[in-house]
Amino acid sequence: MKKTFMLLLLVSVMVFLLVAGASAADKKLKFAWCPTIDDPFYWMIGKGIEDKCKELGIDLFVSEYLKSWGAEIQVPVLEATAARGDIDLLITGPAAKDSLITPLKKIFDSGIEVITVDTYLGTGDYSKPSDFSFPLAFIGTNNFQGGVEVAHRLADMIGKKGKVFIETTNPDVSSVVERVEGFKKGIAEYPGITVVGVEYNLDVQEKAQQQVAAALQSNPDIVGVFGTNLYSARGAYQAVINAGLTGAVKIASWDATPDLIKALKDGQVDLVLAQNPYAMGQLATEWGYKFFTEKANVPKKLNPEFFFFTKENASLPESQKYIYQK
Ligand code: T6T
């Protein structure tokens, strides 16, 4: 009697374990995409994520595309997303490299994996243990390298001499900080070029325009401006148009929106660096999927390639795929 009971108990436990195991394996993954701002660059990351989720059969929750850039706006949205209780992986671009560490760590500690795209936490080195190394990966442009290359191209355009100005967004956002540092490093190789200033527009195009206009007034001999993202670049070339200096002041722009490419073709902008936001979204989703389904070792850093639009290649059919349009 006792033997039969023990046998029955053993069989029931085995059946329970099998059923529980099968339903855990069958559970559909659910990822969350929390866009940092409502702009064409972030739309393209979102498209990469959506397409890959469809392909792999992953459920996706997308939080609102935020109307302005900042930790105070982003954190409540991230917390509300985590509070849903059904998210396995959260993909986002931290709006600031230091102040987002604690809120994202809390989310991670609640059992949600994190991948940062476009921007990173801390120094961005997630390979060594630290208070910011908890994300599975950082997937974004090598912004420093891009900044260096922009500097060399702009230097060539201005005959390797004269004053240049940097229009950027924030002093605490990894992407643009690296662009500025890379640009300064590149320009330092030209003794004839001086960087006369750096201004921060907090992702507000009108502010960028005013700041560049003011810089052109106080330094009428500026010959080049680097706009480190699409708001900065738009503001920069508008200010140069208004000052009647198109052509005399060369504009190097970051981010390939249709309007910036048109401005390049029209001669109002002289260079445009295109990132690959679609690839960022695709890679984040794919590696997140491999992590959950195969326990894959996720590379801690992935840098999709960037591409330079110039007047010469802007109309070529093979360049069109780099423009940010869905
Ligand atoms: O340049 C991109 C992004 O890489 C950066 O971090 C913030 O600005 C953009 O979204 C463009 O507006």
What tens digit of pLDDT does each residue of 309-321 get?
A: 999 999 999 999 9
> With contact defined as beta carbons under 8 Å apart, do 281 and 45 qualify?
yes
**Residue nearest ligand 1's atom 10 by CA:** 41
Beta bridge partners of 89: 31, 113
Amino acid at 20: A
The token pair at 123 is 């120094």
Q: What is the mean pLDDT of residues 170-178?
A: 98
Q: What is the pLDDT of residue 9?
A: 41
Percent of the chain exceeding pLDDT 70 equals 92
The C-alpha angle 169, 309, 143, rounded to 5 degrees, equals 40
Q: pLDDT class for 26, splitting at 50, 70, 90?
A: low
Averaged confidence pLDDT in the chain: 94
**Best residue among 36, 38, 39, 306 to mutate for probing ligand 1, ranked by most atoms within 8 Å of CB:** 39
Residues 91 and 159 in one domain: no
Which CATH number goes with the domain that contains 87?
Answer: 3.40.50.2300
Instruction: Establish if 313 belongs to a structural domain.
Output: no
> With contact defined as beta carbons under 8 Å apart, do 203 and 254 qualify?
no
Q: What is the pLDDT of residue 3?
A: 52
Query: Is the pLDDT confidence value at 11 over 80?
Result: no
Residues 246 and 285 in one domain: no
Instruction: Establish if 316 belongs to a structural domain.
Output: no
- What is the distance between the alpha carbons of residues 287 and 167, in angstroms, rounded to a whole number? 34
Q: What is the pLDDT of residue 192?
A: 98
Tens digit of pLDDT for each residue in 267-297?
A: 999 999 999 999 999 999 999 999 999 999 9
Which of 41, 111, 19, 36 is closest to 274 using CA atoms? 41
Residues 6+ apart with CB under 8 A from 296: 287, 290
**Residue nearest ligand 1's atom 4 by CA:** 118
Tens digit of pLDDT for each residue in 77-126?
A: 999 999 999 999 999 999 999 999 999 999 999 999 999 999 999 999 99
**Best residue among 255, 272, 276, 280 to mutate for probing ligand 1, ranked by most atoms within 8 Å of CB:** 255
Residues 147 and 270 in one domain: yes
CA of 305 to the centre of ligand 1 (A): 15
Quick one: which atom of ligand 1 is closest to the CA of 141? 4
CA of 81 to the centre of ligand 1 (A): 22
Residues 100 and 149 in one domain: no
Instruction: Establish if 121 belongs to a structural domain.
Output: yes
What are φ and ψ of residue 200, in 5° steps?
-115, 120
Quick one: which atom of ligand 1 is closest to the CA of 231? 12
Structural domains of the chain, count: 2
Residues 137 and 148 in one domain: no
Residues 121 and 161 in one domain: no
**Residue nearest ligand 1's atom 2 by CA:** 229
Residues 45 and 119 in one domain: yes
Instruction: Establish if 310 belongs to a structural domain.
Output: no
Decide: 324 in ligand 1 pocket, CB within 6 A. no
End-to-end CA distance of the chain: 70
Residues 147 and 268 in one domain: yes
The token pair at 73 is 């706006």
Q: What is the pLDDT of residue 27?
A: 83
Residues 51 and 135 in one domain: yes
Tens digit of pLDDT for each residue in 201-230?
A: 999 999 999 999 999 999 999 999 999 999
Query: Is the pLDDT confidence value at 302 over 70?
Result: yes
Instruction: Establish if 326 belongs to a structural domain.
Output: no
Query: Is the pLDDT confidence value at 8 over 50?
Result: no
Quick one: which atom of ligand 1 is closest to the CA of 229? 1
- Outline where 127-270 has alpha helix (H): 143-157, 174-187, 205-218, 230-242, 258-265
CA of 256 to the centre of ligand 1 (A): 11
Q: What is the pLDDT of residue 5?
A: 45
Global pTM value: 0.92
Domain that holds residue 53: 28-141+276-305
Instruction: Establish if 10 belongs to a structural domain.
Output: no
CA of 287 to the centre of ligand 1 (A): 22
Residues 6+ apart with CB under 8 A from 77: 34, 63, 64, 66
CA of 107 to the centre of ligand 1 (A): 24
Residues 149 and 126 in one domain: no
CA of 129 to the centre of ligand 1 (A): 28
Q: pLDDT class for 22, splitting at 50, 70, 90?
A: very low
Q: Buried (b) or exposed (e) across 141-156, using 16+ Cβ within 10 A?
A: bbbbbbbbbbbebbbe
Neighbour order of strands in the sheet with 271-274: 193-200, 162-168, 222-227, 250-254, 271-274, 307-309
Instruction: Establish if 115 belongs to a structural domain.
Output: yes
CA of 93 to the centre of ligand 1 (A): 10
Decide: 285 in ligand 1 pocket, CB within 6 A. no
Residues 129 and 157 in one domain: no
Residues 110 and 205 in one domain: no
Q: pLDDT class for 326, splitting at 50, 70, 90?
A: confident
Burial tier of 290 (Cβ tally within 10 Å: 0-12, 13-18, 19+): middle
Q: pLDDT class for 7, splitting at 50, 70, 90?
A: very low
Q: What is the pLDDT of residue 214?
A: 98
- 10 Å Cβ neighbour count for 279? 18
**Residue nearest ligand 1's atom 6 by CA:** 175
CA of 226 to the centre of ligand 1 (A): 14
Decide: 274 in ligand 1 pocket, CB within 6 A. no
- 10 Å Cβ neighbour count for 196? 15
Q: What is the pLDDT of residue 24?
A: 47
**Residue nearest ligand 1's atom 7 by CA:** 229
Query: Is the pLDDT confidence value at 157 over 80?
Result: yes
Q: What is the mean pLDDT of residues 38-57?
A: 98
Q: pLDDT class for 168, splitting at 50, 70, 90?
A: very high
Decide: 119 in ligand 1 pocket, CB within 6 A. yes
Instruction: Establish if 23 belongs to a structural domain.
Output: no
